[in-house]
Amino acid sequence: MTSDDRIRTTHVGSLPRPPELLDLLTRRQDGEDVDDEEWEETVADATRAVVDRQREVGLDAINNGEQSRVSFNWYVADRLSGIEGERETALWADLQEFPDYAEETFKTDVIDLSMHPVVAGPIEYTGREEAEAEIEGFLDALDEAGVDADAEGTFMTAASPSIVTATHVDDYYDDYEEYLFAAADAMATEYELVADAGLTLQIDAPELLTVGQTEAYADESLEEIKGATRLHVEALNEALSGVPDEQVRLHTCWGSYEGPHHLDTDLAEMLPVIYEADITGLSVEQANPRHQHEYRAFAEHPLPDGWTLMPGVVDVKTNVIDHPETIADRIERVADAVADDTPLVAAPDCGFGTQAGIGMVDPEIAWAKLDALTDGAAIASERLS
CA-nearest of 18, 11, 7 to 363 is 18
DSSP codes of every residue in 172-235: S-SSHHHHHHHHHHHHHHHHHHHHHTTPEEEEE-THHHHGGGSTTTTTS-HHHHHHHHHHHHHH
Residue 326 lies in a domain: yes
Residue 3 lies in a domain: no
Q: How many domains does the chain have?
A: 1
Whether the per-residue pLDDT at 109 is higher than 80: the answer is no
Element spanning 365, H or E: helix 363-384
The whole-number pLDDT of residue 263 equals: 84
Residue 1 lies in a domain: no
Residue 2 lies in a domain: no
Residue 339 belongs to a domain with what CATH number? 3.20.20.210
The whole-number pLDDT of residue 365 equals: 97
Highest mean pLDDT among 250-264, 354-368, 371-385: 371-385
Segment 294-322, tens digit of pLDDT: 999 999 999 999 999 999 999 999 999 99
* Mean pLDDT for the stretch of residues 155-176: 96
What residue type is assigned to position 57 of the chain? V
Q: Using an 8 Å Cβ cutoff, are 267 and 296 in contact? A: no
Whether the per-residue pLDDT at 2 is higher than 60: the answer is no
Whole domain around residue 309: which residue ranges?
Answer: 8-384
* Mean pLDDT for the stretch of residues 184-208: 97
Residue 137 lies in a domain: yes
CA distance 68 to 180: 26
Calculate ∠ Cα 10-2-321, nearest 5°. Answer: 30
Residue 240 lies in a domain: yes
Residue 339 lies in a domain: yes
Whether the per-residue pLDDT at 224 is higher than 80: the answer is yes
Confidence class for position 92, pLDDT limits 50, 70, 90:
confident
CA distance 135 to 130: 9
CA distance 285 to 265: 13
Segment 26-84, tens digit of pLDDT: 888 888 999 999 999 999 999 999 999 999 999 999 999 999 999 999 899 999 999 99
Residue 302 lies in a domain: yes
